[in-house]
């Protein structure tokens, strides 16, 4: 199957998550993403139990090629420059100023290739009072106001995956794609900048809009109460989620499924406004009811009444759901040294064709000879003479 970014070459000099995530998204769409890494150690995210193929690294580096380059060595610096001359996109997520010190600043690379789309990812932006500060996922979540919406005030503890890191990679890829579309019209590359702070503030747009329009500062339970969302434990210890939203038909269906038609006669729960105001009480009422049957039984009853729900799967369960299996979310590839490798496919389909094939993440320097050989083959031989 032809990929939509076939023919686009990306040089990614990324580490940890933000830069590699952006590169992976482009690779999933068919771009040739060449990951430039330090000899011997590579991306620091590789390190794991004495090896260089951690689950963290594997998550964000599929469908790429790896080359080791030490830019302090003249020959390697020349290889890097040759890669840039032929590239469409360059991605880095260094702290501001580091790329220039490494000979990979925008001005220098653009002089080599005016068509280059140069993407710089940072924690707090390229300039400003916080630009030089170190930034990791929880730092960006906190600074953007997003973490305040996730942490339970009664037990303030960071939860969940690296949302800010991954989302910043998404926004970077989004900006790169826009720049590539414009370059098709103008022939000139753009500088694309995104910071983790900017990405998370934009992702937190709903909370800011409530504040701008109503002066409301949202908290961890603001949206769940308005959307009428619930996480409920069942008799077998398994959990399920409800998202009742606003249509009354869902509440009538729920009342039927739990055999409690009286619940909608209760003055506290008879209207949407009442259910929002008395969300805590409703959690207690529903919690007591759902504790009486197994999750499987509740899912059957809720489905029969068309109530928006889903089992709260853990990672081992989610991809075994019949719908997930139908969508072929789990795919696998074969690595020449690592063997069978499994992942979750890109969610985007084109013309009804799913991204069902994958190239496992490269081991460090796996494509050294291949990439260097291709560059050498494209260079004119020193004895070549101009026939004119």
User: What is the secondary structure of 250-313 as a DSSP string?
Assistant: HHHHHHHHTT-GGGGTSTTTSSHHHHHHTHHHHHHHHHHHHTTS-HHHHHHHHHHTT--EEE--
Q: What is the pLDDT of residues 68-84, one digit of tens each?
A: 999 999 999 999 999 99
What pLDDT, on a 0 to 100 scale, did the predictor assign at position 382?
Answer: 61
Of the pLDDT bands very low, low, confident and very high (cuts 50, 70, 90), residue 379 is confident
What pLDDT, on a 0 to 100 scale, did the predictor assign at position 182?
Answer: 98
Q: Which residues pair with 118 in a beta bridge?
A: 90, 191
Overall average pLDDT of the 252-265 stretch? 96
What are the start and end residues of each CATH 3.40.50.10540 domain in the chain?
9-205+358-378
Residue 384 has pLDDT above 90, yes or no: no
Q: Which residue has the higher pLDDT, 382 or 134?
A: 134
Q: Which residue has the higher pLDDT, 385 or 41?
A: 41
Pairing mode of beta strands 239-243, 309-311: antiparallel
What are the start and end residues of each CATH 3.30.1540.10 domain in the chain?
228-317
Return the percentage of the chain with pLDDT > 70, whole number: 97
Q: Strand, helix or coil at 358? A: coil
Q: What is the CA radius of gyration of the chain?
A: 26
Q: What is the largest CA-CA distance in the chain?
A: 94
CATH topology of domain 228-317: formyl-coa transferase, domain 3 (3.30.1540)
CATH classification for the domain delimited by 9-205+358-378, as one of 3.40.50.10540, 3.40.109.10, 3.40.605.10, 3.40.50.300: 3.40.50.10540
Q: What is the pLDDT of residues 3-58, one digit of tens each?
A: 999 999 999 999 999 999 999 999 999 999 999 999 999 999 999 999 999 999 99
Q: Which residues pair with 120 in a beta bridge?
A: 92, 193
Q: Which residues pair with 291 in a beta bridge?
A: none
Residue 383 has pLDDT above 80, yes or no: no
Give the C-alpha separation, 353 to 327, whole Å: 11
Q: Where are the alpha helices (DSSP H) in the chain?
A: 18-28, 55-59, 74-86, 98-101, 106-112, 137-143, 163-186, 196-203, 205-214, 222-227, 248-257, 272-277, 279-290, 295-304, 315-318, 322-326, 368-378
């Amino acid at each position: 199957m032809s990929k939509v970014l076939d023919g686009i070459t990306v040089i990614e000099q990324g580490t940890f998550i933000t830069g590699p995530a952006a590169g992976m998204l482009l690779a999933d769409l068919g771009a040739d993403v060449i990951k430039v890494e330090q000899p011997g150690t590579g991306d620091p995210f590789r390190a794991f139990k004495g090896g260089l193929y951690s689950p963290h690294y594997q998550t964000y580096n599929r469908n790429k090629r790896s080359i080791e380059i030490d830019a302090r060595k003249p020959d390697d610096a020349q290889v890097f420059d040759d890669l840039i001359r032929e590239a469409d996109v360059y991605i880095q997520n260094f702290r501001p100023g580091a790329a220039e010190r490494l000979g990979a600043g925008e001005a220098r690379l653009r002089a080599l290739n005016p068509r280059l789309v140069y993407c710089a990812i940072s924690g707090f932006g390229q300039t400003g009072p916080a630009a030089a500060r170190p930034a990791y996922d929880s730092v960006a979540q906190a600074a953007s106001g997003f973490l305040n919406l996730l942490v339970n005030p009664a037990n303030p503890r960071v939860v969940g995956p690296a949302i800010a890191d991954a989302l910043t990679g998404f926004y970077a890829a989004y900006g790169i794609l826009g720049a590539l579309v414009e370059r098709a019209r103008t022939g000139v590359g753009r500088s694309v900048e995104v910071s983790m702070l900017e990405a998370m503030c934009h992702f937190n747009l709903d909370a800011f809009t409530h504040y701008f329009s109503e002066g409301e500062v949202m908290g961890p339970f603001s949206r769940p109460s308005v959307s009428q969302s619930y996480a409920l434990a069942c008799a077998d210890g398994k959990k399920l989620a409800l998202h009742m939203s606003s249509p009354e038909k869902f509440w009538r269906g729920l009342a039927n499924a739990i055999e409690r038609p009286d619940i909608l006669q209760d003055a506290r729960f008879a209207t949407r406004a009442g259910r929002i105001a008395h969300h805590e009480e409703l959690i207690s009422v529903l919690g007591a009811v759902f504790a009486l049957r197994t999750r499987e039984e509740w899912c059957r009853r809720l489905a029969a009444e068309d109530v928006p729900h889903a089992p709260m799967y853990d990672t081992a369960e989610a991809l075994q759901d019949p719908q997930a299996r139908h969508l072929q979310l789990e795919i696998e590839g074969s690595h020449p040294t690592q063997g069978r490798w499994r992942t979750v496919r890109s969610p985007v389909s084109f013309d009804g064709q799913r991204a069902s094939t994958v190239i496992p993440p490269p081991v460090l320097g796996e494509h050294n000879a291949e990439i260097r050989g291709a560059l050498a083959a494209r260079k004119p031989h020193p004895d070549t003479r101009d026939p004119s």
